Amino acid sequence: MNILFVSTEAAPFAKSGGLGDVIGSLPKEMKKEGIDVRVVLPLYQSIKLKYQQELRFITDLTVMLSWRTQYCGIFEMEYDGVMFYFLDNEQYFKRDNYYGYDDDGERFAFFSKAALDVLPYLDFKPDILHCSEWQTAMVPIYLKTLFRGRKEYENLRTVFTIHNIEYQGKFDESILGDLLGIQKSDMGILKYHGAINFMKGAIVTCDRLTTVSPSYGEEISYSFYGRGLEGIIKENRYKLSGILNGIDTALYNPAKDHNLAVKYSKNTMGKKKLNKIALQKELELETEPETPIIAMIGRLVEHKGIDLVINVFDELMQEKIQFVMLGIGKKDYEHYFKNKAKAYGKRMFVCTDFSETLANRIYAGADLFLMPSLSEPCGLAQMISLRYGTIPIVRETGGLRDTVKAFNPETVHGNGFTFHTVNAHDMLDAVKRAINFYWNKELWTKLMTNAFHTDFSWKASSKEYIRIYKELIK
C-alpha cells in the first residue's frame, strides 16, 4: 500500500503550527507498519536555502492552471527514512512566509493541481492521496473534475483531514473559471453561501473525511464549532472519522532533550525542579522553587480562550504563583500581557517571539499548563506538557476533552484539571483546584506519575489511518 501525503507543512522543512508536527511525525510511524509513505510539499524559499545541497532534481514540467502555463520543478530528498518531494515555482513560493498573501488561493490551487500532474513523473504510484486543510483541498476536487476519466488516475483515492475548520479557503466566485478552470457543470461543488469554499468542495469530493480528535469530529456538526460548514459535515458524516493526533515522543522527551538544564524521566521526576530553578533564573523570576509556575504556550488569538484569562487575571495573580507566557498573536493581547508583566515584576514573564527551545524549557520548568481554548480541534501543547510532567488545566472541548481527564483524589486517576463552560470564573476555579493539589505533595506526585504514563505516541492513531486506507482500496 502506497500513501502520498499532500501538505503545505511538514517538520522540519516547514512548520507554522500543529499541521507541521503531524505531517513531520505521522509518516515515520506508518513506515514502521510497513506502509510506503511519502510526502509532497511546496518548495518554499526557506527550504531551498537550507537544504539546497541535499535536494535532488528529478525533472520539470508545465502545469496548466486555467489559462495559465506555469513552471513546476520536482525535487526529492529523504529525511528520517521518509521520501519527500518538493514542487518548485518561484512566483508562488519564493516568499518570506508560507501564508498570508492576497494570491493564496492561486498559490495553493497551483500546488494542488501540480501535485496531481507530477504523479506520472515519480518513481512511486500512490494508492491514496492524504490531504490536509484548505490549502490542499483542491486535490480531491480536481481529481473528481478535471482529472475525471483519465485512466492513470481512475483508481486513486483521497482522504481529507480537517485540522481546523475555522480556516476554509473562502474566495470570490469570480475565481472559478479564471483561476481554477472548473467547468460550469461542476461549479456547485465549490459554491457555498455566496462564495467559493475550498474546504467545502473537499468535504464533498474526498473518499474519506477525518478530523484530528473524536470529540472535534462530533463538535463540528454544530454551529458553534462548524463555522458555517456544519450542514455539509452532517451530510457527509457517513465518511467522517475522528482520529486523535499524536506527538513525536522521540522529539519531545525530557530524558533526551538537550534544551533542558537537566534531563529527567518518570523515574527521576525529582530533577524536574532543577529545570524550574534554571527557568526562573533564565527568565529573571524570583528563584522560589516551591512557588508553582503556571505557563501558557501558544497563539494569542480569541479561540484560545485568551479573553477568559484576561477577565480574571488580576484575581489569578492574587494566588501565590508565577506566570509565564510564550506566544504570538493579536497585538491587543500581546500589549495586555506585556503591561501586566511590567506590573507584576519578577512574578511574571512574557515573550512574544516564539522559540521552540524556550518552549521546551518552559514545558520542563513549569508546574501547571493553562489551555482554556473555546475550541481546540486536537491540541498538541497539552500532550507535550504531560510528556514533561507538567499538569494541564483545560476546557473540555475537542482534543482537550479526549486527552486530559480530571484528577480524582479518591481514585487517584486522571492527569489534569478541567472545566466545562465558557466562563472565566469556572476557569479560575479549575486553576485554584490545581494550585490546592500542588501543595499536597503526596497527591501531586501521583498526579505527575499519571502524566508521565500517558501515551500520546502515534502508534494507535497510525493504525486507525491504515485501517481507513485499507477500507478504501480493498
348 lies in some domain: yes
pTM of the predicted structure, to 2 decimals:
0.93
**What pLDDT score does 95 carry?**
95
**What pLDDT score does 178 carry?**
85
**What pLDDT score does 202 carry?**
98
290 lies in some domain: yes
In the β-sheet with 195-197, what is the strand arrangement from edge to edge? Answer: 170-171, 195-197, 191-192
Specify whether 222 is located in the same domain as 83.
yes
Beta bridge partners of residue 4, listed in sequence order: 38, 129
252 lies in some domain: no
Specify whether 331 is located in the same domain as 203.
no
Specify whether 240 is located in the same domain as 271.
no
Specify whether 8 is located in the same domain as 78.
yes
Specify whether 467 is located in the same domain as 387.
no
Q: Which one, of 165, 169, 225, 223, lies nearest residue 196 by Cα?
A: 169
Q: Does position 359 have pLDDT exceeding 90, yes or no?
A: yes
Give the span between the Cα atoms of 42 and 65, in whole angstroms: 16
**What pLDDT score does 291 carry?**
98
**What pLDDT score does 447 carry?**
97
Question: Looking at the 3D structure of the chain, how many domains does it have?
Answer: 2
Give the span between the Cα atoms of 357 and 271, in whole angstroms: 19
Q: Does position 448 have pLDDT exceeding 90, yes or no?
A: yes
Specify whether 70 is located in the same domain as 108.
yes
CB 391 within 8 A of CB 417: yes
Specify whether 153 is located in the same domain as 278.
no
Specify whether 237 is located in the same domain as 270.
no
Specify whether 82 is located in the same domain as 201.
yes
Q: In the numeric block, which cell numbers belong to residue 458?
A: 502515534
Specify whether 183 is located in the same domain as 316.
no
77 lies in some domain: yes
Specify whether 213 is located in the same domain as 159.
yes
State the residue range of the domain holding 383: 266-452
CATH of the domain at 83: 3.40.50.2000
Specify whether 157 is located in the same domain as 285.
no
**What pLDDT score does 17 carry?**
83
Q: Does position 129 have pLDDT exceeding 90, yes or no?
A: yes
Q: What percent of the chain has pLDDT over 70?
A: 100
Per residue in 10-67, pLDDT (tens digit) is 999 999 888 999 999 999 999 999 999 999 999 999 999 999 999 999 999 999 999 9
**What pLDDT score does 474 carry?**
78
